[in-house]
Amino acid sequence: MTKKYLDMAARAGLRGRGDVEPNPLVGAVIVRHGVDGGEDQILGIGHHCRFGGLHAEREALANARGNGFDVAGSTVYCTLEPCCHVGKQPPCSEALIEAGVSEVVYARRDPAEVSRGGHELLEAAGIKTSCDDVSELAVSISDPFIHMVKAGLPWVVVKWAQTIDGRIATSAGESQWISNERSRAMVHRMRSRVDAVGVGMGTVLADDPMLTARGVRRVRRSAVRVVFDTHGRFPVDSKLAESAGAYQTVICTSRPEHISVAGIRVLECPALDGKLDLKAALRLLHVECGVSNILIEAGPRLLGSLLDGDLIDEAVVHLAAGIMGDDSARACATGRECSSLDQMKRFKLGRVKRVGDDVHLHYRK
Ligand SMILES: NC(=O)c1ccc[n+]([C@@H]2O[C@H](COP(=O)([O-])OP(=O)(O)OC[C@H]3O[C@@H](n4cnc5c(N)ncnc54)[C@H](OP(=O)(O)O)[C@@H]3O)[C@@H](O)[C@H]2O)c1
């Protein structure tokens, strides 16, 4: 039962994606458990809907009241430990205490110094409180937030489209388009929900991308466009440069003196072995530009470096139903040494989705 309700809370929490960050995605479900074999009754469901808005527990309480239910004596399932501090909203723990709930089950302890402690507050008020990691989904929806708080880094999602034989471009660098139209529409939706969309200089030179979210019904946030450009080679006649007045654009470079394009923000980053120190660049993007998550549409060299630096939190691979069969076509990642299988980077497979003849594969670190 606990898993069922925590899963439900997590699915509610996921609805806030793109609207609540840098706050965590949180969902909550209020249940009155049936007695003597009677059926459970769901009194209310809520999620954190927008940054600065009501937290999930208060949304669920309001939902229950709106449904005409008294929540006294009920059990609350939420994905994150209820907060106990006054931020943009009053503490959720207090609301749960005032509402007279009997039990609170949450999936993950709050790592943030300012807001943790809800567990103790609830217990002190006589509410049975426990942390239960039985739902993988409920635990994992807080991953980006916890990563940001603990590591001081944005959550990195890399995305690429490849053929069955793992090629992302022809030998001449042509990659538009490997995946189908529906997959590409999905990429635009992904762009519309993140703080930043990044590419390496190789992709800027080969594809001259815009990196905007087009054809999306509701753009939840306007992503900052980021270019990782070690040597300051960013072309002034690129689409990114020409549209910099309309869309926020940041160049991460160790040679800021080489870049002077109106409307572009230049972030000076250190270099390591002749390449941008990507960890330092990501940290600066978080600290200086408030980036809590970034979608990197990586070419092979950038992907190789991100793998080497262990910087990939999530990977989305659009597998197209084609084979190039050409030795000189570009592999999805290059520049690494992998002479033994120990050096191979492994991921956990999450969601798999068929989209026409393409397959979308979601991986986690
Ligand atoms: N199928 C797909 O999904 C997909 C997606 C993206 C790209 N592509 C294709 O990939 C090709 C481009 O790939 P690419 O490997 O040439 O370029 P890339 O990976 O997009 O960018 C590599 C460049 O980024 C810069 N960079 C900055 N810091 C770096 C670091 N720490 N490590 C590595 N690079 C760093 C370097 O340029 P500087 O030295 O100038 O800084 C480097 O040459 C194109 O053909 C494009 O069409 C395909």
Q: Which residues of 43-60 are buried (b: 16+ CB within 10 A; e: fewer)?
A: bbbbbbeeeebbbbbbbb
State the 10-residue block means of pLDDT for the chain, 365 residues long. Answer: 97 97 96 93 97 94 97 97 80 93 96 82 96 97 96 98 98 96 98 98 97 95 97 96 97 95 95 96 98 97 97 98 98 96 96 98 97
Can you tell me which atom of ligand 1 is nearest the CA of 298? 6
Local structure of residue 105 (DSSP, 8 states): E
| Pocket mutation for ligand 1, best pick of 165, 168, 308 (most atoms within 8 Å of C-beta) | 168
Q: What is the pLDDT of residue 116?
A: 77
- Return the active site residues: 57
Q: What is the pLDDT of residue 117?
A: 85
Q: Reduce the DSSP state of residue 117 to 3 states and report it.
A: coil
Write out residues with Cβ below 6 Å of ligand 1.
Answer: 160-161, 168-169, 173, 175, 178, 199-203, 206-207, 228-231, 233, 275-276, 278, 297-302, 305, 330
Measured by CA distance, the residue closest to atom 43 of ligand 1 is: 202
Q: What is the pLDDT of residue 349?
A: 97
Half-sphere exposure (CA, 13 Å, Cβ side) for 260? 2
Helices (H), the chain: 2-14, 56-66, 92-99, 118-124, 136-140, 143-151, 181-191, 201-207, 239-242, 278-289, 300-308
Using CA atoms in the order 210, 213, 215, 218, what is the torsion angle rounded to 10 degrees?
Answer: -160
| Pocket mutation for ligand 1, best pick of 167, 184, 203 (most atoms within 8 Å of C-beta) | 203
Q: What is the pTM of this model?
A: 0.95
Half-sphere exposure (CA, 13 Å, Cβ side) for 196? 29
Ligand 1 centroid – CA 49 distance (Å): 36
Ligand 1 centroid – CA 201 distance (Å): 5
Ligand 1 centroid – CA 263 distance (Å): 23
Ligand 1 centroid – CA 252 distance (Å): 14
Q: What is the pLDDT of residue 36?
A: 87
Q: Which domains does the chain have, with CATH numbers?
A: 2-147 (3.40.140.10), 152-364 (3.40.430.10)
